[in-house]
Each structure stands twice: as structure tokens, then as C-alpha cells.
């Protein structure tokens, strides 16, 4: 079955955007971009290399050193960011249409991500005006205050899952704080990123403040990480790539913020509301096609309710609607790329040996082409199984039983990752104690993944380095300069002071 759907007015080619102009790669090289429903090439994108990144960084550096953006008042920058948010919001249907087509994300979920992108800009537009920095006073003697300054050119490297929203997550605070940027979007999904240039121009962002270089990670991404004039790198992606970036950035002592992989546990105790927990655990791993870093892809269930949970969960997973991404009824669409599809399917086959298959396990019926995977559920999965330990990043979940709270905690912490955790229990004391003991950067108690944009976002262990979100983003994208003012007598110990002798009678001249 071939999906003939194609959005109107697709670009003939995707170019870089450097210093206010759309340009091809200096060497003319391109790469293919595939439709995930058919795996056919639908457009070619400029393939950036070191020379293209150098050109973009030079433009961004010039805009930072000579342009008005870093020197504008926060309120002036805020007005531009609010205009960006308005434009994104007004174009949400078009953005969602292109995002869905390019990534395979269901259209209704893509629409939600487009609206969230607008909210990210609006949030930081407000935050930068409300920003208050510390002052430390010793009355009558001294005062110290903190002066925040933009750092320079921020290198932003973004992933292919919900790309437009995740780009906004970095662009919003980087621009709000007065930096200039070079964005390197994921090569699988460059389509929606190409819309930022027109939005920024219309909103009044000065030329050179935003630059975009498409290309492969090992070419464009690597050149951006290693560029000496890029003091900041914010990266979202898999942990192995994060390790490479960490090593490559080390000689330059760059500021790094990296949100990496996850294998997050959802822990369901026997006293939980099973109806709500099952709904949340279905959504938590099958929304966004399972291609989400915070997916609750390991479900740990107390043995008292384990059989009931597995039976009901599997039955509901079988009812999740797989369909074409542009269909509003679709709940799981096509995975982003054939390479990723093959990776996920290899884990599905592995899971058939490592667990008990209770739902899915292959292609959904009626979809012989494209990157479709039926929502797949494995039960009775051992903690040493690869499908328990490794990030699959698709609509595949492992369910494992536990008996005691201590066992649940040991299982929850038994991976190299530590991004998120979800805990389902009506015991208030247990909920808080468990949350504080689980090795995760973020914990949701009796809740699905609901974000408050003021809170820090990030993980521990192999799931990340540093945090963004709210004031943590402001911290990352600014230098904090301490300024000291002496209000009283200076406290200056004197070295090398000249000796002063008291006069004696022998020193006085004869008065006679």
C-alpha cells in the first residue's frame, strides 16, 4: 500500500541559511531526504561540510561582535521573540503538516508539538524580561552584584524526533539571552527547520543572528563542535554521540549541555489506580511513535497485579491505531527512516527470544511498505535482557514483575541510563521516598510526562550532562560576571610599606 499523500508546495531543494541568505554547500554536495511512508526520496538537502560551518560561524560571530542583538535591551529582544511565537502559532497547521510528512509523526501529535514550539519562545520572551540577578551587600562596607552577559556563538545540534519543537527549545533561550546561533538539524528531518529563516526574518531578527547548516553529523556536526569560535554546544541525541562530542569539545573547554538517551522505568505498585496507570503507560511508550527519550519503555509491575496488568495492557496495545501520519485518527505512524526501522525490528526479533510476546511483534496488517512497526509488548523480561537494558527508541516495551519495594528500586536503577521515571502508587510516603531514591533526572508521581517549563530538564548517568529549562537555560547561555564595589574604606593590606620613625631629641636641631 503506497501513500500518495504529499503536502502542497514542498521545496524543490533544502539549502543552508547563512548571514541572511539561502545558499548551497560550497562544494555543491547534497543528500537525499526520504518520505518515511514510502522510503522514496522526496527532496535533496545541501550537505554541509567544514567550509560551510566556518562560513556560518563567521557570520554569527560578526553579528555577535558588531550587530545590535547582544546589545539590545531584554524588552526589545522579548518583543522579537513574542513575534516569533505569534508567527509559529499562526502557522501551526502548516508546520504540523510538514513535520508529519518528514518524520512520520501522527498529524495530531505534530500539531501539539508545533504549538509547544510557540510556547517555548513565549516562555523565554517573558523570562528574560523578568530575570533578576543576585546582589550581596555588607552595609557600609561593600556590595557585589551579578552581571549576566551573552557568551557568543551557540552551536545547536538537534535530533530527528519532534525536530521543530526541540529546535525551539534551544533557539528560544539562546536568542533570548543575546547570543547568536548556528543550528545543525538532524539529517533525517531537515524540512521543518528550513522554515525558521522566514519566521525569524518576518519577526525582525537581525541578519546573521540565526544561521542553519544542514548535513551529516560526522561532517557538519563535527565541524561545529570543533570550531574554536563556538564556545557553547547544546546537543540532544543518543549517548554514544554525546560521548564523541564530549571528547571533541574537550580541547576547547566548551560549555556543554547534552540531553542523551533513556531507558526510563514506569513502576506500578499494587495499590495504584490500574485504569489510569495503564492509560499512562500506553501513551508513555507509544506516543510520538515511541521515538522519545523520556519513554517509559521498562514497565515494572508488582506481582500482586502483574497478570492483570499484562493482560489489560496487551489488549489495549493491540487497539492502538497504526495509520498514515496525515490521518487524524492515527496514534502510531511510520518510523522516521529505514535505518532506524531496521534497528527497531532487530530488537523486536531479539525480544522474541528474551521475553514473552503478548502484542505486536512485526509489521501491522495492511502496511507492507514504509517504516511501520506494530505496537509491541514483551512480558516476563529478565533484567539482564538487552531489551530491558538498551534504548530501542520505538513502539516496543518490556514488562517485568517485582515483589518488594526494594526490588522495584533495584530494577528501576539497573541500567546505565537515568533520564526519567514514572511511579504509580497511592502511598504518599512510598511515592516520595522512592522518587528521591530512583536514579533519574526527572520523576513523575501518578502522572504522565507533563512539563512545567520552569523546571530543569536533564538526566543523570548516561542520560546527559547539565540541565536546561527555565532559569537553567538562562544559566547555560550566559556568563555570570561578579562585580565588587567598595563602599567604605578600602581593605588593602599593604606590602612593602616604607618605615616611619618617631622623632627623638637627638633628631631635633639645637633650638639655641
Known catalytic residues are 259, 293
Q: How much is the CA Rg of the chain, to the nearest whole Å?
A: 27
The residues near 27 (Cβ < 8 Å, ≥ 6 apart) are 49, 51
For the record, the C-alpha cell of 436 comes out as 528521591
Tally of residues, the chain: 512
For the record, the C-alpha cell of 389 comes out as 537494558
Round to whole Å and give the CA distance between 39 and 20: 32
Classified as helix, coil or strand, 215 is coil
The torsion region of residue 470 among left (phi > 0), alpha (psi -120 to 50) and beta comes to: left
DSSP string, 427-442: -HHHHHHHHHHS--SE
Taking the mean position of all CA atoms in its chain, how far away is CA 376? 26
Cα angle vertex 133, ends 450, 436, to 5°? 35
Spell out a b/e string for 320-350, using b for 16 or more CB atoms within 10 Å of the CB, else e. Answer: bebbbbbbeebbbbbbbbeebbeebbebbeb
Cα angle vertex 388, ends 387, 394, to 5°? 50
DSSP designation for 299: E
The residues near 448 (Cβ < 8 Å, ≥ 6 apart) are 280, 283, 284, 422
Phi, psi of 31 (to 5 degrees): -135, 160
For the record, the C-alpha cell of 334 comes out as 511510520
For the record, the C-alpha cell of 21 comes out as 541568505
DSSP string, 104-149: ---HHHHHHHHHHHHHHHHHHHHHHHH----EEEETTTEEEEEEEE
Spell out a b/e string for 259-287, using b for 16 or more CB atoms within 10 Å of the CB, else e. Answer: bbbbbbbbbbbbebebeebbebbbbbbbb
Amino acid at each position: 500500500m503506497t501513500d500518495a499523500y504529499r503536502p502542497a508546495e514542498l521545496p524543490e531543494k533544502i539549502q543552508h541559511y547563512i548571514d541572511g541568505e539561502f545558499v548551497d554547500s560550497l562544494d555543491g554536495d547534497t543528500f537525499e531526504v526520504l518520505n518515511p511512508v514510502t522510503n522514496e526520496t522526496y527532496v535533496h538537502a545541501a550537505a554541509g561540510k567544514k567550509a560551510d560551518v566556518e562560513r556560518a560561524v563567521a557570520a554569527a560571530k560578526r553579528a555577535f561582535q558588531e550587530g545590535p542583538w547582544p546589545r539590545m535591551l531584554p524588552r526589545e529582544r522579548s518583543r522579537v521573540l513574542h513575534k516569533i511565537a505569534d508567527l509559529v502559532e499562526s502557522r501551526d497547521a502548516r508546520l504540523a503538516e510538514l513535520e508529519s510528512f518528514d518524520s512520520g509523526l501522527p498529524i495530531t501529535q505534530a500539531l501539539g508539538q508545533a504549538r509547544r514550539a510557540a510556547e517555548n519562545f513565549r516562555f523565554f520572551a517573558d523570562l528574560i524580561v523578568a530575570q533578576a540577578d543576585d546582589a550581596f551587600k555588607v552595609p557600609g562596607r561593600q556590595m557585589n552584584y551579578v552581571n549576566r552577559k551573552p557568551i557568543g556563538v551557540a552551536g545547536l545540534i538537534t535530533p530527528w524526533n519532534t525536530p521543530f519543537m526541540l529546535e525551539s527549545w534551544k533557539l528560544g533561550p539562546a536568542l533570548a539571552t543575546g547570543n547568536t546561533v548556528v543550528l545543525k538539524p538532524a539529517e533525517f528531518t531537515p524540512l521543518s527547520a528550513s522554515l525558521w529563516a522566514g519566521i525569524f526574518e518576518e519577526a525582525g531578527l537581525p541578519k546573521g543572528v540565526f544561521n542553519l547548516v544542514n548535513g551529516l553529523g560526522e561532517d557538519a556536526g563535527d565541524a561545529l563542535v570543533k570550531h574554536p569560535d563556538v564556545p557553547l554546544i547544546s546537543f540532544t541525541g543518543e549517548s554514544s554521540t554525546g560521548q564523541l562530542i564530549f571528547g571533541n569539545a574537550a580541547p576547547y573547554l566548551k560549555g556543554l549541555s547534552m540531553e542523551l538517551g533513556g531507558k526510563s522505568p514506569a513502576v506500578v505498585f499494587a495499590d495504584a489506580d490500574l485504569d489510569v496507570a495503564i492509560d499512562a503507560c500506553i501513551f508513555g511508550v507509544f506516543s510520538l511513535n515511541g521515538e522519545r527519550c523520556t519513554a517509559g519503555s521498562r514497565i515494572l509491575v508488582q506481582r500482586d497485579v502483574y497478570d492483570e496488568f499484562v493482560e489489560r495492557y496487551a489488549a489495549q496495545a493491540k487497539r492502538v491505531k497504526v495509520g498514515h501520519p496525515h490521518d487524524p485518527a492515527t496514534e502510531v505512524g511510520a518510523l522516521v527512516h529505514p535505518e532506524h526501522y531496521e534497528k527497531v525490528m532487530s530488537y523486536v526479533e531479539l525480544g522474541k527470544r528474551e521475553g514473552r510476546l503478548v502484542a505486536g511483534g512485526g509489521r501491522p496488517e495492511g502496511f507492507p511498505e514504509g517504516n511501520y512497526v506494530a505496537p509491541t509488548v514483551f512480558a516476563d523480561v529478565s533484567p539482564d535482557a538487552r531489551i530491558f537494558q538498551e534504548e530501542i527508541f520505538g513502539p516496543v516495551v518490556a514488562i517485568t514483575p517485582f515483589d518488594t519495594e526494594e526490588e522495584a528500586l533495584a530494577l528501576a536503577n539497573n541500567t546505565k541510563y537515568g533520564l526519567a521515571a514514572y511511579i504509580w502508587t497511592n502511598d504518599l510516603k512510598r511515592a516520595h521516598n522512592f522518587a528521591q531514591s530512583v536514579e533519574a533526572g526527572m520523576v513523575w508521581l501518578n502522572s504522565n510526562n507533563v512539563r512545567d517549563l520552569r523546571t530543569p530538564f536533564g538526566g543523570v548517568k548516561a542520560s546527559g550532562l547539565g540541565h536546561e529549562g527555565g532559569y537553567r537555560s538562562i544559566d547555560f547561555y550566559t556568563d555570570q560576571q561578579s562585580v565588587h564595589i567598595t563602599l567604605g574604606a578600602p581593605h588593602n593590606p599593604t606590602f612593602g610599606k616604607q618605615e616611619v620613625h618617631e622623632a627623638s631629641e637627638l633628631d631635633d636641631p639645637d633650638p639655641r
